Amino acid sequence: MIDGIIIGAGAAGLMCAREAGERGRSVLVLEGNTSIGEKIRISGGGRCNFTNLHTSPENFLSSNPRFCTSALARYAPDDFIKLIRQYRISYHEKVHGQLFCDGNAKQIIEMLHHECTTRGVEIKTGCRIHEIEKNDHFCVTTSQGEYGSKKLVIATGGLSIPSLGATDFGYRAAKKFSMNIIAPRPGLVPLLLDDSERGLCRALTGVSIEVKVTCGHAVFVDDLLFTHLGISGPAILQISSYWDPGKEIIIDFLPDINIEKEFELYRQSRKEIKTVLNSFLPKRFVEAWCVKNSIPQMIQQASKVELHKISQQLHQWTLHPVGTEGFSKAEVTVGGVDTEELSSKTMESKKISGLYCIGEVVDVTGHLGGFNFQWAWASGAAAGRSL
């Protein structure tokens, strides 16, 4: 009888296995893909944004915003940094506390694999789960045989990036044991705009501008990228996790500039409005924006009311996205196993003794920039120390 079976050899599952193996537990990891750590492999452009130095509970979305506090406090970014230093994996800080490998993400996968196997953890890849039952122990029927364990960990991830094998298995397994699921939806995903705005986006495809974007109480300042379908870039990916159909988002293209005051400086001059805007915004954007909004050529030709309207258009571009690019382009899944069902200290189900849920399958979603990996390490460690 195995002490614990972990379903999923992603970031959370491998960390859980490592911690349980460290405690001398017999652990079996079952992975449906033919290789482990597929999301780790492609993350950060292949360099793996493995954590963020500024991690705090405020960087996460959940129906219970404080649920992640305990796990994050007990396995902090410094704990993972110490581990990669042991393996002499060089890394760098990109921006805002985001840490990336100098080499590539395979170094992280190889490190975790080594940490597991040297602790006696067995990993089976290409292993499809057919059925899970629980009597006095858990029985998992797979494409490679039947396995029994005292404890079971669901670490299957969410629905994002189905091309890497993402499925709803984790949610179905949780539902089988009568656990509540917060409806999953795409997070950190580009937004789609309607035809009235898409023409501008097509004209500006590839143009990037630092903006302030707001949706409800959520506010982010980062780059916006125009696409042929709508808008993307870090600022939009961030706000997408807070957006629901019907909600509006407001974009300020000049978060540090009061453009109305800038216009007033040249009120009596022969300056063109485009010339003033070109001082602060990409020329290609200014050209397309002025055409779309029928902006007068000269500042002198515009009334105060018109200049105020132009200012409002630039500081408060109000959009009603028609959707997202879906799970195929989403970096994470928002929603998942309801945190009310789990112990915040161990990730164990409150209903089913010995059943755990960790990582992306849980209703805890991080901001862009290494926070989701830190949640994987922290939640995995919390469960692994309890197996």
Residue 290's identity, in one-letter code, is: C
Question: What pTM did the predictor assign?
Answer: 0.95
Distance (Å, whole) CA 294 – CA 361: 48
Q: What are the Cα distances from residue 262, in Å, to 267, 288, 295, 302?
A: 9, 20, 16, 14
Q: Could you tell me if 59 and 97 are in contact, meaning their C-beta atoms sit under 8 angstroms apart?
A: no
pLDDT for position 266: 86
Q: Could you give the angle at the alpha carbon of 22 between the alpha carbons of 121 and 97, nearest 5°?
A: 100
Distance between CA 222 and CA 213 in Å, rounded?
A: 8
pLDDT at site 253: 98
- The share of the chain scoring above pLDDT 70, in percent, equals 100
pLDDT of residue 295: 87
Tokens standing for residue 353: 């003794």
Select the more confidently predicted residue: 43 or 296: 43
Here the tokens at position 298 are 């000269």
User: In the chain, what are the domains?
Assistant: 2-185+333-384 (3.50.50.60), 191-324 (2.40.30.10)
Per-residue confidence at 302, pLDDT binned at 50, 70, 90? confident
71-103 pLDDT, tens per residue? 999 999 999 999 999 999 999 999 999 999 999
- What pLDDT shows up at residue 300? 87
Tokens 């597929």 belong to 38
The phi, psi pair for 73, rounded to 5°, reads -70, -30
When pLDDT is cut at 50, 70 and 90, the band that residue 268 belongs to is confident
Residues in the chain: 387
Q: Model confidence at 59, in pLDDT bands (50, 70, 90)? A: very high
Structure tokens at 59: 């960087």
Q: Is the pLDDT of residue 269 over 90?
A: no
Residues 274-289: pLDDT tens digits?
Answer: 999 999 999 999 999 9
